[in-house]
Amino acid sequence: MRDVTSDLDKVPIAGIIDAALDSADSVDFVDVRIMSTRTAYQTSRDARPMTDIEHQSLGLGVRTLVDGCWGFAATTDLHAASAAETAQRALAMARVSAPTTTDPISLVESQPVNGEWTSSFVVDPFSVDAAARMTFLTEGSGALLSGGVTHTMASAMAVREEVVYADSNGSHTQQQRVRVQGEFSGIAVADDGSFQSLRTTAPPVGRGWEYFVDPTDTISSSGSWDWAGELARLPERLAEKSAAPSVEPGSYTLVIDPTNLWLTIHESVGHATELDRVRGYEANYAGTSFATEEKIGSFRYGSPLMHVTGDRTAEHGLATVAWDDEGVPAQEWDLIRDGILVGYQLDRSMAARSEQYPDSNGCAYADSALHVPLQRMPNVSLQPDPMGGTLDELIAGVDDGILVIGDNSWSIDMQRYNFQFTGQRFERIRNGRLVGQVRDVAYQGSTPQFWGSLVALGGPSTYLLGGAFNCGKGQPGQVAPVSHGCPAAVFEGVNVLNSGTEAGA
């Protein structure tokens, strides 16, 4: 049983919602969000505590729709009178702006929803003493220093997010989700001052403190990462990386581990299938997309092995909820099926503009009550081959290639078409066997060419949810947590650059 703590227990939720809705009852639509986000962030350097921050944001946001124009206002004063005044400000903004609207907003119908939901976790990280959380970092860093690395950096972050949503259609929901991430870096400095680094590959997840607990501990027998095992192996791997030869540029078969491939999915598929981006709504900030609407149902995005879903339902997914920030139930749908582009990510206003996609698939989210909801990315995942092999079996099928592990730097153009990615660790493959590390690997390609080179997928045993806490979008900027699941995968004929040479090193 979980001891679920709420930061909204003392907030007069019913009175606030009633006051806001009643104050804006003459509009086409109004919704109200009360949101609390508690965040803890800690760091250590060389096993010494460096940063220990815990803070909370708490507020109320009201949207009103009048004559095809949104109005929005927000406050941190959580009382009924302030809620009514905030709704009136949102209403006034909509009314004064409506005459200037050249592209009126409409919303697809959405059935009223009611309920409560809590994400899947065991131990609320905020129930764990801050000193104990810091000890996790310092002890892990101490293990790396004992193993021979020169310097270490470590960090841990935990977030507990709660949202109450209500609208003029009669919806009323309350949900809470918890997420955590942790990372250790080892740095090896050579006598000549040159250095190499290597990070752990544990992804951020929608779990609680059990993620950081020894799997044999009685607190949690499942859900933790093998931190001790990865930290024990990291010094030796870092030493090998430091002594490894630099890669020869050329065309290679790549076996890409989920700890790296998740980011390629995020940039080349996740962002490219946001319908608001396709229609130009992000052009001023982060570009558009090559995956335009006339391509739906016919464009070959990649190999027939490629099956990518959008979903907000995956257990422990960072974008997993029960309802989005417009009251639309969480769901799963296809974005790419058999290698063909078949779907997009939608909120209620984007769906209202499309005859082909008449319903929202629940992609509205705001990172704060003080920000207006945007169309945001769900969990976007490449599905494994049900009959696919293990990572070792995929490697065994490659005569001449490279195994790519862990994410690092990346770049992609403004249409999500041409890209380049690096990684943390690269193992040379010859005749189906790993024969040692190489360095300075960067792989590049165009989105359809790269995904078209997919020739094998790992099975469910290789599947892992990767992701990030900080996907950016919008002006003013917002961040959103999002997961990307995928198996290990094999790509043939990928162009590999030497990143050191390309950087002029």
Give the integer Cα–Cα distance in Å for 34 and 172.
11
Q: pLDDT tens digits for 369-382?
A: 999 999 999 999 99
pLDDT of residue 213: 87
Nearest Cα to Cα of residue 306 among 393, 421, 384, 398: 384
pLDDT value for 219: 46
The answer to whether the pTM exceeds 0.85 is: yes
Residues belonging to the chain: 505
Q: What is the mean pLDDT of residues 237-247?
A: 97
φ, ψ dihedrals at 141, nearest 5°: -65, -35
pLDDT classification of 222: cutoffs 50, 70, 90: low
CATH (residue range 13-243):
3.30.2290.10
Per-residue pLDDT, 220: 45
Give the domain ranges of the chain: 13-243, 250-502
Per-residue model confidence as pLDDT tens digits over 314-354: 999 999 999 999 999 999 999 999 999 999 999 999 999 88
Q: Whole-angstrom Cα distance, residue 337 to residue 303?
A: 10
Q: Which residues pair with 323 in a beta bridge?
A: 329
